[in-house]
């Protein structure tokens, strides 16, 4: 089961968000409240890993000398 990151939604300018992780099945709905105190929460989008093999249709070709370094493939 994947681990999702959630944060509380501050109710005032003085509140700071509290971040926590929760192991959930992909079929379970997102939480709307903190499981311990009921504070409203939102799921935080976090990084992931994408792996491409071979030459997929629609994939951008690798370019050398880009802004991020040689062969990074970005358009800059």
Averaged pLDDT, 19-47: 93
List the one residue out of 27, 17, 16, 20 whose CA is nearest residue 6: 20
pLDDT of residue 45: 87
pLDDT of residue 66: 46
pLDDT of residue 22: 94
What global pTM score does this model have?
Answer: 0.58
Give 34-74 pLDDT, tens digit per residue.
999 999 999 998 776 766 666 655 555 555 544 555 565 66
pLDDT of residue 67: 52
- DSSP string for 34-46: -TTT--BEEEEP-
């Amino acid at each position: 089961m994947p681990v999702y990151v959630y944060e509380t939604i501050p109710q005032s300018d003085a509140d700071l968000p509290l971040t926590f992780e929760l192991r959930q099945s992909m079929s379970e709905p997102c939480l709307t409240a903190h499981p311990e105190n009921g504070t409203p929460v939102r799921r935080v989008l976090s990084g992931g890993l994408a792996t491409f093999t071979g030459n997929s249709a629609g994939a951008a070709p690798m370019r050398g000398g880009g802004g991020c370094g040689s062969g990074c493939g970005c358009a800059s």
